[in-house]
Chain A
Amino acid sequence: MNQGKMTNQDQRTNHEKMERALDAVQKAPRYTGGEMNTRIKEWEDTPLRFGFCFPDTYEVGMSHLGLKILYGLINRESWSLCERFFMPWTDMIAQMKENGIPLLSMESRHPMREFDVIGFTLQYEMSYTNILAMLDMGRIPLESRERDEADPIIVAGGPCAFNPEPLAPFIDAFMIGDGEDVMTELNRVILERKEKGESRQDCLRKLAQLDGVYVPGLYDVAYHEDGTVKSVTPVCPEARPTVLRRFVTDLDSAYYPEEIPVPYTEVVFDRIMLEIMRGCTRGCRFCQAGMLYRPVRERSMEHLAELAEKLVASTGYEEISLSSLSSGDYSCLPELIRELMRRLKDKRVSISLPSLRLDSVLKESLEETQQVKKTSLTFAPEAGTQRLRDVINKGVTEQDLLEKCRDAFEGGWSSVKLYFMDGLPTETTEDLDGIGDLARKVVAEYFRVPKPQRAKGLRVTVSASTFVPKPFTPFQWDAQDTIPQILEKQAYLKKALNIKGVTFNWHEPYLSYLEACFARGDRRLGAVLRRAYEKGCILDGWSETFDFGKWMEAFRECGLDPAFYANRVRPMDEILPWDHIDSGISKAYLRKEKERSSRAEVTKDCRQGCNGCGLQRYDGICSWAKGKGDAPCA
């Protein structure tokens, strides 16, 4: 039904205007497109056109694995095409406004309105205003209820879709959970609508019947006088009372791209990302990803080695990172690394292991990696004392950390990054002192290595982020520290970390405060979001564009108190705004974990036996639920 809306003449004009705009902006390569392995499929011959939107800049979006998976997956189908949209920077936005250019796709430069489906990936709460900005620049009405038959269907997925409520007014349908299967199912329904000329409303009702799809417009939310949620009620039979997330049970048979776009310019992660597994068995209590991406599913070594070879051949990248929440936990990591090195040695590819867990770093594999290229080492103790690490179930001991650091220093590394969080539940001054102590001990480990054996230039970087309580974690009922509390703690840490060889990084707490609001927000926050956008808030994740004052005005004008969302301890029996979304993890389990946390009791890794998180209720979902999972190299 979108056909013929835009003439060739219009498209030429947009193209020419865009070329002019490119000459007037910084970082034009963000907008040029034409990268290796991107595809421009025949527009007229492809019935379903999907616009994949990453609501942040090109450099951030092109570093995102999910984009690459879905881009390949949609383009692989003969009947669908996928083109990319990114959030333009302010200078380009000004050019577009001035010259009347709508938001155009990177590939064929078609305006957003010409697509059948527009899909946003939700990786970060503070990119929400960018979604409104992109829809606006795409000349699509911001709210679902304002859209008519000619507008594309607006969908969203990704980790933040697990609490979809703050975005409920703007998104027609959310995909909850692993996207590989549901993406194609959703596209088929939308294609059918297009072919049969079905109404938008009928299409949305059909989408609501797909497993894992949540259509917020089909639910009524009622509130108590104190602002807490009273009920969430489906308004039609198609809408289910609760929406269970999707699971991809076998990663080896799930789609994974063998060709990925290679940007001309350097992006944040400019390398091959090989997803070796999905999920994490550790059960850190602050970690939303650790809950949302359960269960752990590993790709087989053979499959990974094949993918790596194909990706190296198709991209020419010089580096592969083994990516997952906890790569050190991959059942046969040393074997995998050895196999990759064997197959790729002549290709001059270095292998890097990000987010290494301290208790699973193998000296052996470190040395092997280094054979090709030295990469930096990152550890995340998260908290400064054993007590607090037990509270958050971060199963890492000081001894572990120091041993791994010594191994690294002996192996020729001289820079180590340590990640911590401030504001964790039950945190005291003692825990902050613990961060300083730990940093000092790491420095001492370096100097313990004899001078001729160690690499020069010790650099210990300590970063502290502010804890944000997230839905579907045992801390979902907890309060975030107030801004004054966080500022005080940061000032304290600054003094505690005034150590030679140590650099301390921290972020102002204002953004984390808003992140806390939106992470656990309800549907009413949609109004705040819209108001903030109308006041000019965009690109909030970037310090140069973030305007906290405007956000506070938006809250005030909507009659809502951010502290209600961020700083309030929620009673266990309160209906949470996301209770109608089922992550597969039971609320009873989260409650139990919260209780154990308050007693500083640790919970064992699922690989050592099932903890009963809730996934055991579903047949064939979690291979660890019945005792021992399959180790692909065993």
Chain B
Amino acid sequence: MRMMAVFEKSERIRHIGHLDIQRSVQRGLRRSGLPVAYSGGFHPHILISFASALATGAAGKREIMDVTLAEPVTPELFLEKMNQAMPPELHLIEAAPMDDKAPAMMSLVRAAEYDLAIDGEEAAAMLTAAIPAALGQTELTAMRKTKTKLEECNIRPLIHALDGAGNHIHAVMTLTERESCKPGMLLEALCRLAGLENPPRMVVTRLRLLGSDETGGFIPLEKMA
């Protein structure tokens, strides 16, 4: 059976990269005693996939994984066993069984909601003040890093919500395999508008992953399992 689980990557371990998080979750599954399913072949591995790789340096409040189990398990038992087996920095919040034929969670991600905690009150105030201007434009440029080059792109169509209060900026931005706007790109664009030469330090927390319903509106990804 397949089980979808929502988990948190705490701020303390935000610098742990995606591959290391994957391995840590796999080891957690091995510790849990749950009936984990392995792939066939010469180097069997645990059947698990993550809806979206979370960047090194970012924390995640509601990250999503999809695990295949060899035998049916209730979500309650799954959560209990996993939370005994995981470090507190990587704890599971909820779990739900999935249809075996359901598409991979990864293919359903459309956008993500972020919190950007800006270091320095002055910088935060300047950035927050630049938000209305940013939203008022049809074109906002930022540099996008691809595998081979650094290129300019327009991120305005990728920003679906943007507001700020105190030291925090809150944003909903496109996240698909084809295109996405990363928090660093948003910060860069806001800095330019605010006249900030050096981008301030920030701590990024991905609050949730979003999919879309029939009408095209965003809904929490876990609701689509």
Contact = CB atoms under 8 A, between A and B. Distances in A.
A546 interface: no
B178 interface: no
Interface in A21-36: 22-23, 28-29, 32-36
B38 A29 contact: no
Interface string A238-264: 000000000000000000000000101
B15 A22 contact: yes
Contact of B27 (A19, A23, A262): A262
Contacts of B27: 36, 262, 315-318
Contacts of A623: none
A264 B29 contact: no
Nearest to A312: B30
A503 B203 CA distance: 46
A568 interface: no
A29 B15 contact: yes
B16 A20 contact: no
Of A20, A23, A36, A318, most buried by chain B (CB within 10 Å of CB) is: A36
A264 B86 CA distance: 12
A264 B31 contact: no
A34 B15 contact: no
B30 A347 contact: yes
A313 B87 contact: no
Contacts of A317: 27
Contacts of B203: 19, 23
Given A29-B20, A36-B87, A348-B44, A316 B15 contact: no
B183 to A, nearest CB: 13
Contact of B12 (A20, A34, A37, A318): A34
Interface string B55-90: 001000000000000000000000000000111110
Contacts of B30: 312, 316, 318, 347
B154 interface: no
A13 to B, nearest CB: 15
Interface in B142-191: none
B26 interface: yes
A32 B26 contact: no
A265 interface: yes
A365 to B, nearest CB: 22
A32 B15 contact: yes
Nearest to A22: B15
Contacts of A461: none
Interface in A420-446: none
A265 B31 contact: no
A37 B16 CA distance: 17
B39 to A, nearest CB: 11
B13 interface: yes
B16 A348 contact: no
Interface residues of B, number: 29
B33 interface: yes
Determine the main DSSP class of B at the interface with A.
helix
A316 B26 contact: yes
A557 to B, nearest CB: 41
B28 interface: yes
B121 interface: no
Contact of B33 (A23, A33, A313, A315): A313
Nearest to B15: A28
A29 B16 contact: yes
Contacts of A33: 12
B119 interface: yes
A317 B15 CA distance: 22
A228 interface: no
A586 interface: no
Given A264-B20, A265-B16, A348-B44, A35 B31 contact: no
A314 interface: yes
Nearest to A265: B20
A251 B28 CA distance: 30
B24 A264 contact: yes
A22 B13 CA distance: 10
B49 interface: no
Q: For B17, B89, B119, which residue has the most chain A Cβ atoms within 10 angstroms?
A: B89
Contacts of B57: 23, 28
Listed residue (B15, B26, B38, B86) with the most chain A CB atoms within 10 angstroms of its CB = B15
B53 to A, nearest CB: 15
Contacts of A315: 27, 31
A313 B10 CA distance: 24
Contact of A32 (B16, B24, B88): B16
A34 B30 CA distance: 19
Contacts of B11: 19
Nearest to A317: B27
B38 A34 contact: no
A34 B11 CA distance: 11
Contacts of B29: 316
A40 to B, nearest CB: 9
Nearest to B38: A348
Contacts of B85: 316
A20 B201 contact: yes
Nearest to B46: A348
Contacts of B88: 34
Contacts of B38: 348
Interface in A505-563: none
A32 B31 contact: no
Given A262-B27, A265-B20, A316-B29, A34 B201 contact: no
Nearest to A349: B30
A36 B203 CA distance: 24
A20 B119 contact: yes
A33 B13 CA distance: 8
A32 B13 contact: yes
Interface in B1-49: 10-13, 15-17, 20-21, 23-24, 26-31, 33, 38, 44
Interface string A40-79: 0000000000000000000000000000000000000000
A33 B20 CA distance: 14
B88 to A, nearest CB: 7
A33 B14 CA distance: 11
Contacts of A38: 87
Interface in A304-326: 312-318
A566 to B, nearest CB: 42
Contacts of A35: 87
B12 A316 contact: no
B65 to A, nearest CB: 15
A318 B30 CA distance: 9
A313 B119 contact: no
Interface in A341-400: 347-348
A350 to B, nearest CB: 11
B31 A314 contact: yes
Instruction: Output the residue of A22, A262, A264 with the most chain B CB within 10 A.
Output: A264
Contacts of B86: 36
A569 B220 CA distance: 76
A264 B44 contact: no
Interface centre among B21, B30, B86, B88 (most CB of A within 10 A): B30
Contacts of B201: 20, 23
A109 to B, nearest CB: 10
Which interface residue of B12, B31, B57, B203 has the most chain A CB atoms within 10 A?
B31
21 contacts: A19-B203, A22-B15, A23-B57, A23-B201, A23-B203, A28-B15, A32-B12, A32-B13, A34-B10, A34-B12, A34-B13, A36-B87, A264-B23, A265-B17, A265-B20, A314-B31, A316-B27, A316-B28, A316-B29, A318-B30, A347-B30
Given A23-B201, A262-B27, A264-B13, 6 more contacts: A32-B15, A37-B87, A315-B27, A316-B27, A316-B30, A318-B27
Across chains A and B, which 5 residue pairs bring their CB atoms closest together, nearest first? Answer: A316-B27, A28-B15, A316-B30, A316-B31, A34-B89
